Structure formats: structure tokens, C-alpha cells
Amino acid sequence: MKENVVDEIYNLVIASSDFVTEIEAANEEFISMFKNMEKRQSNLITQVVGINEKYGSVVDLVAKRKKPIIGGISTAFQSLLVSYSINTDRFLDDTESSLEKHSAKTKKAVDNMINNFNETVKVWGEKSDN
């Protein structure tokens, strides 16, 4: 009987040690995931700042409902559909509508990302408490 108890205690110690190793590995994976998330967030912020720097003037045109100065129209504007080049108000309306839809989709996607992360953390906490 002593041998069985010793064997079981020894097996418990080995299983416990293996579990600690798994927890440490999981922590390393979590650290890696969080670093990747931070990099991804930084990249997203860089993209949005770049978009704002590059296209802020277009957004200002739409927001202020200004028509482009004819002499300052880019070649891209000149190659627009005839309906847009004839009616810049329509072009600005459609642009504004598209940007508003993109803004709403972006907000929804960011909210989903935050909610999914928070829910995952909550579930993880509940499971580890049990």
C-alpha cells in the first residue's frame, strides 16, 4: 500500500508540474497575442492618421459643402463620371454618404472588437474561478 500511495503522490507532483508548465506557456502565448494586438492597433491608428492627413481636405469639402475650385480640380476629378463632373453637389453628397457609412461600419467593428475581447476576458475569468 505504501508503494501505491508513493506512486500516486509522485504522479500528482509530475501532473502538477506539467500543469504549471502549461500555464506558463499559455501566459507566453497571451503576451504574444497582446503584443500582436497592440501592433495591430498601432497600425490601424497609423492608417487612420494617414487617411486624415491625405484626405482631410476632401472631408472638409464635404463637411463644408464647398465646391472645388475649377482651376484646382485634379485629373482624378476630371475623369469622374459625367454626372459628377457636371454636378459637384451630387458628387459631394455621394462622397459624404459613403464616408458616413464607412464611419458607422468602423464604429460597429471597433465596438464588436472591444465587446468580443471583454467577453472573452469575462468568460476566462469565470472559468478560472471555477
Q: What is the pLDDT of residues 51-72, one digit of tens each?
A: 878 777 666 666 665 555 544 4
Whether 41 and 88 share a structural domain: no
C-alpha cell at 97: 454618404
The residue type at 78:
Q
Whether 77 and 103 share a structural domain: yes
> pTM of the entire structure?
0.58
Whether 77 and 122 share a structural domain: yes
Asked, for residue 60, whether it belongs to a domain, the answer is no
Whether 72 and 50 share a structural domain: no
CA–CA gap between residue 44 and residue 31 (Å, rounded) = 20
74 Cα distance to chain centroid: 32
Q: Which domain holds residue 108?
A: 67-130
Where does residue 65 fall: left (phi above 0), alpha (psi -120 to 50 degrees), or beta otherwise? left
Q: What is residue 65's DSSP assignment?
A: T
Q: What is the pLDDT of residues 8-26, one digit of tens each?
A: 999 999 999 999 999 999 9
Domains identified in the chain, total number: 2
